[in-house]
Every structure is written in C-alpha cells, then in structure tokens.
Amino acid sequence: MNHIQPTNILQEIYRLYDGYIASFAPGAIACRKHCADCCTSNVTMTRMEGLLIRESMGREQMTARLPDISSSVFPRYRPGLSTNGYVLACKSGGDGDSESFAEEEYPEGEPPACPFLEQNLCSIYPVRPFGCRCMLSTRPCAQTGCADIDELTLTVSTVFLQFIEHIDQDGFFGNMTDVLHALSADQTNAFRAHGVIANHPIPALMVPPEHRARMQDIVFSLNRLLTGQPPAP
C-alpha cells in the first residue's frame, strides 16, 4: 500500500471507472438523471466509501442525520459476505474464515428508498458508493423490474469492487446505513455490533477466461493506483 490518503486512492479508482463508462457507445446505457428505481435501502459499501461520504458531508452533519437515516431504511439488505470474502469462500470450498461471515438478511418486498435520494436525485452524487456507480443497465429497470447489465461490465465492476475492498482491507463492509453507523461507533471492533463484516485483501481476481484480454489494461491501471503511480496516459 502506498502513502497516499486511502480516500484519494478511492477517488482515483472512481475516476478510472468513469473512464470505463465513457467508453460505452452513445445510447448503450439506459441510466438517466431522475431515473432512480435502483436507489433503494439495499446499497452496500466499504468503510472507506463511508469515510469519503462523511468527509464530504462533515462529521457533525452526518451524526445529526444518522437517526433519520436508519429509521427510514429498515428493513434493509445485509450481506453475509464481502466481494473478496465470497472469493475466499469459493477458494476454500465454502468454509472460509467463519469470523468473516454473517447471516445474509434479504427482507422480502419493496425496499424503502435510499435515505440520500431527494426528489429523485442523489444528494451525495460525487461521493456515492461504487455499488451505485456500477448500476449500468442497458434497459430502464422500470421495464423489467431489475437492471440488465452486460457480462463484461459485470466482470469489470466486480474487479473494481475487489480493489476497493483491498485498499480498505482492515476495514469493513455492509449495508450503507450500517456502515455509516459503524463509523460513528469509534471503538475498536465496535463495528461487529452494527451488522457489518470484515473486509479482505484480494485472494484472486474474478475474471472469466473470455474477459482476460479485455481486463489486462484495467487491472494494470488499478495496480498502478495501488502502488502510488499515476494512471498511465
């Protein structure tokens, strides 16, 4: 890991992903301003992504909003595995490190809207988590009830998720609301009481053989960011 502020590396990773999005042909993605069916209470993120949001909002404002945020988004999805935790579980035949796993909670029915959605716009758009950035549907979700994401984009996004977790490997992962609460706990290991789970370094990249050639430049650029080198021109 390099000496650059981790939240700066995170922002560089977001910029790199913006570059990937810019490579789409016009009209390939249906996502538009005010289209917000995907903005629900089920968004997940890492501690580092929460720190960036808190940096942007200011600690006091975040603390003041937390009670409202949590009461408005319950029940909410709580993951049982982080992205790298999932890879670890696959590599170990499903057993893995039991300390890193939790019971997944997936409430039935329509989830409430994301607490940061205001008049169908994201109120924290520049610092929104990666889980929001990678919702890139080829058709409006309202037509089918879910996002339709192409296979290569799924691979690219998964690898980005793996690196985002890797730069925060001593941090934690969970539902956005739970991560923001855990951040406010300010005690060693207090996060475990907030329904979040431990992050992991990358055990192996989740790149299927058919995408390996296309992923080479992206993985190279992500590695450059981790070692403190500027992105290749």
Report the interface residues with ligand SF4, using CB under 6 A: 30-31, 35, 37-39, 43, 114, 116-117, 122, 124, 128, 132, 135, 137, 140-141, 147
Calpha distance 154→149 (Å, rounded): 7
To ligand SF4, the closest distance from the beta carbon of 80 in angstroms equals: 21
Residue 128 or 200 having the CB closest to ligand SF4 = 128
To ligand SF4, the closest distance from the beta carbon of 176 in angstroms equals: 7
To ligand SF4, the closest distance from the beta carbon of 119 in angstroms equals: 11
Radius of gyration of the chain (CA): 17
Nearest residue to 87 via CA among 227, 232, 200, 168? 200
Nearest residue to 114 via CA among 58, 56, 164, 53? 53
Residue 53 or 202 having the CB closest to ligand SF4 = 53
Beta bridge partners of 117: 122
C-alpha distances (whole Å) from 189 to each of 33, 44, 47, 170, 199 are: 39, 19, 13, 11, 13
Residue written as token pair 């170990």: 92
To ligand SF4, the closest distance from the beta carbon of 5 in angstroms equals: 22
Q: Where are the alpha helices (DSSP H) in the chain?
A: 6-22, 47-57, 59-72, 83-91, 130-133, 141-144, 151-166, 176-185, 212-226
Q: How many residues does the chain have?
A: 233
To ligand SF4, the closest distance from the beta carbon of 184 in angstroms equals: 18
Calpha distance 101→61 (Å, rounded): 32
Residue 43 or 89 having the CB closest to ligand SF4 = 43
Residue 122 or 215 having the CB closest to ligand SF4 = 122
Residue 37 or 150 having the CB closest to ligand SF4 = 37
Residue 117 or 205 having the CB closest to ligand SF4 = 117
To ligand SF4, the closest distance from the beta carbon of 200 in angstroms equals: 24
